[in-house]
Amino acid sequence: MGAPMPALFRRPVVLWTALAAALAAAVITVLIVVPGDEGDSSYLDSEAPIAERVEDLLGRMTIEEKIGQMTQVAVPAIEGVPSDIRNLGIGSLLNGGSDALHDTPEAWAEMIDGFQREATDSRLGIPLVYGIDAVHGNGALPGAVIFPHNIGLGAAHDPGLAAQAAAITAAETRATGVHWTFAPCVCVARDSRWGRTYESFGEDPGLAVDYAGPVVEGYQGEDLAANTSVLATAKHYAGDGGTAYGTSTTEHYLLDQGVTTLTEEALRAIHLAPFKAAVDAGVGSVMASFSSTDLGDGPVKAHADSYLINDVLKGELGFDGFVVSDWQGVDQIDGDYAKAVRTAINAGIDMVMVPFEYRRFIDTLLAEVDSGGVSEERIDDAVSRILTQKFALGLFEAPFVDTTGAADIGSDEHRAVARHAAAASQTLLRNDDDLLPLAGDEAIYLAGSGADSLGRQMGGWTASWQGTVDAVTEGTSILAGIEEVAPNAAITYSEKATEPIGGADVGIVVVAEDPYAEGIGDAGAGEHDMRLSEADAAAVDTVCAAVACVVIVVSGRPIELTSHLAEVDALVAAWLPGSEGAGVADPLFGGTPYGGRLPVTWTRSNDQEPMNAGDPIYDPLFPLGFGLQTG
């Protein structure tokens, strides 16, 4: 035992001991009053009304846990430190674009369940919601059915069919563990040079209004908690399809993320009307646009537009879901990050797609709350909206993946609907001497870059953000579809029309755009110029000069064709038909009639863009709504 302590030091020791005891008592007191440690956990009562569960859970949460719920993180940022989900209370994950992270539903489920275990092991056990760009099928899963992009569905003029496509997409997405799709895009494309034109149902706001409600209902189903439903997202709010060419502040983008300049009356009639339809249908989330809106007082970033989000969307339209930012969209508001975060949250953004520097976002928003820049009332409103959708999705009762629907992914039944959708979207623009439909027993010379290319016919947001020519999913090319639909035809296939045409009865040239998506797909931003490639132009000129010919255009928008049409007997807009190329062949050989009608104006030259029905000068190659009928 050591020597007795000098008297000089005895009093401080007594004081420190007393102080330590007091601190311990204080800590105990703090722990006693931590939200969530008192009373019954009624938020876990599945029989209680959702509003009561939300109120109870919100009252138990710390400010740190609340801000965690407002944070959406990309998988690459979190996969090395999954414990951050538990420790920081992260509310949502996404994988970015339509990146095919895994090849099977089981592998997707295993990944998402791993992340979900971290979330449910947190103090309050609040589950994650996982989002993905399943915009025309679950493009992130090889083997899933890929439907026509929205512009093709718009050409079909059949909202019920689009709703079927959405319902199948939802089932094939939820079976992998994904709860939320960033779709539908209810944008109204007013300039076809925009790289997202194919994500729009067309230039007529009436089309978008007609489609918005049924498609939202198709995704969300009658019960959002069902293993066949996903949370839908109406995007991009608001006016992204009306940006002016060359107005973007981003160097390489000419239309995307630009400025939409118009009167408020025009904004409401053209761009807000589809969102009202989506809200009326009960859409659970809305995504803010990268673009800005100028109603006469200068451009305002959509992510910072309190009037459009708080007053119009949440107030006037009565939207009770949550608003999510687009990818790093908050960062674009201001170079001062704290100001950008403060502005976005106060403008009504509820969840922030960070997606990488999530600790920075959390710390910044915490500091803003501490300083009074963002009120706790605003935080509570945002978190209440997010939690409401999580309860509606049934995540508290069933946080882990139900893969019982995985066996139906890519099923014949699902593919039949996609084939029907592709066929219904086919738009016949020329049919001299009633060349179409073909009999099916002809000698056919087939050429063009789109004839045997799944990647081109599926387009962007398939397997990756920008899509890929080398498709990684399953499907039927247009060539294979022709072989299936017309087994008695004698087909000579030469992509670049270099083989002898010989005694062919008819030529079919399938021209195509290479895949693209937002920004990079803007005409003039890169290789995508809305014109035939040199190889496709040569194939058209060669084949159509030698034999009666059909040109099928696989594209996400009208492309400039005028100088190549002199020898073309029949012309078909196939849009981006998805994984079922037999749907392109069906009306070609009379199995179904041609019935598609243009959802956008087809100009004579790209220099005429933007051109929309009702313009004072309207002289297109083919007007909005045009489409020849057969059968």
Total domains, the chain: 2
pLDDT at 262 over 50: yes
Q: How far apart are CA 553 and CA 550, in angstroms?
A: 10
Q: Are strands 292-294 and 322-324 parallel, antiparallel or unpaired?
A: unpaired
Q: Are strands 92-94 and 129-132 parallel, antiparallel or unpaired?
A: parallel
Among 354, 385, 405, residue at a domain's last position: 405
Q: How far apart are CA 19 and CA 470, in angstroms?
A: 70
Amino acid, res. 177: G
pLDDT at 495 over 50: yes
Please state the length of the chain.
631
Q: Are residues 266 and 365 in the same domain?
A: yes
Strands (E), 360-412: none
Q: How far apart are CA 378 and CA 388, in angstroms?
A: 16
Q: What is the pLDDT of residues 277-334, one digit of tens each?
A: 999 999 999 999 999 999 999 999 999 999 999 999 999 999 999 999 999 999 999 9
3-state secondary structure of 503: coil
| Residue 305 annotated to the active site | no
Which residue is catalytic, options 133, 518, 541, 609?
518
What are the φ/ψ torsions at residue 193 (nearest 5 degrees)? -70, -15
First to last CA, the chain: 106
Q: Are residues 494 and 602 in the same domain?
A: yes
Q: Are residues 341 and 488 in the same domain?
A: no
Among 374, 405, 436, residue at a domain's last position: 405
Q: How far apart are CA 171 and CA 409, in angstroms?
A: 8
Q: Are residues 563 and 582 in the same domain?
A: yes
Angle, nearest 10°, between helix axes 205-220 and 159-174?
A: 40
Q: How far apart are CA 235 and CA 274, in angstroms?
A: 10
Q: How far apart are CA 423 and CA 538, in angstroms?
A: 27
Assess if residue 224 is contained within a domain: yes
Q: Are residues 417 and 357 in the same domain?
A: no
Residue in 504, 526, 506 with CA at minimum distance from that of residue 515: 526
Assess if residue 23 is contained within a domain: no
Calculate the dihedral angle through the C-alpha atoms of 588, 590, 591, 593, rounding to the nearest 10 degrees. 90
Q: How far apart are CA 144 and CA 415, in angstroms?
A: 9
Q: How far apart are CA 56 and CA 43, in angstroms?
A: 6
| Residue 110 annotated to the active site | no
Both tokens of residue 583? 């749907």
Among 363, 382, 405, residue at a domain's last position: 405
Q: Please state the rounded mean pLDDT for residues 130-151.
A: 97
Global pTM?
A: 0.93
Count the alpha carbons within 13 Å of 609 in the hemisphere toward its beta carbon: 28
The domain that contains 563 carries what CATH number? 3.40.50.1700
Q: How far apart are CA 452 and CA 477, in angstroms?
A: 5
Answer yes or no: are the C-beta atoms of 480 and 424 closer than 8 Å: no
Q: Determine which of 62-71, 252-261, 458-467, 583-592 has the lowest per-residue pLDDT on average.
A: 252-261
- Domain extent, residue 430, equals 413-608
DSSP 308: I
Assess if residue 613 is contained within a domain: no
Q: How far apart are CA 10 and CA 469, in angstroms?
A: 81
Q: How far apart are CA 519 and CA 234, in angstroms?
A: 19
Amino acid, res. 388: T
Indicate the burial class of 21 (C-beta count within 10 angstroms; 0-12, 13-18, 19 or more). exposed
pLDDT value for 96: 82
Assess if residue 495 is contained within a domain: yes
Residue in 477, 490, 419, 481 with CA at minimum distance from that of residue 449: 477
The domain that contains 267 carries what CATH number? 3.20.20.300
Which residue is catalytic, options 326, 368, 442, 495?
326
pLDDT at 208 over 70: yes
Q: What is the pLDDT of residues 227-261, one digit of tens each?
A: 999 999 999 999 999 999 987 766 557 899 999 99
Answer yes or no: are the C-beta atoms of 561 and 513 closer than 8 Å: no
Residue 18 banded pLDDT, cuts 50, 70, 90: very low
Q: Are residues 179 and 274 in the same domain?
A: yes
Q: Please state the rounded mean pLDDT for residues 508-516.
A: 97
Q: What is the pLDDT of residues 54-92, one digit of tens each?
A: 999 999 999 999 999 999 999 999 999 999 999 999 999
pLDDT value for 251: 58
Residue in 376, 372, 343 with CA at minimum distance from that of residue 63: 376
Residue 98 banded pLDDT, cuts 50, 70, 90: confident
Q: In DSSP terms, which residues pair with 558 in a beta bridge?
A: none
Q: What is the pLDDT of residues 345-401, one digit of tens each?
A: 999 999 999 999 999 999 999 999 999 999 999 999 999 999 999 999 999 999 999
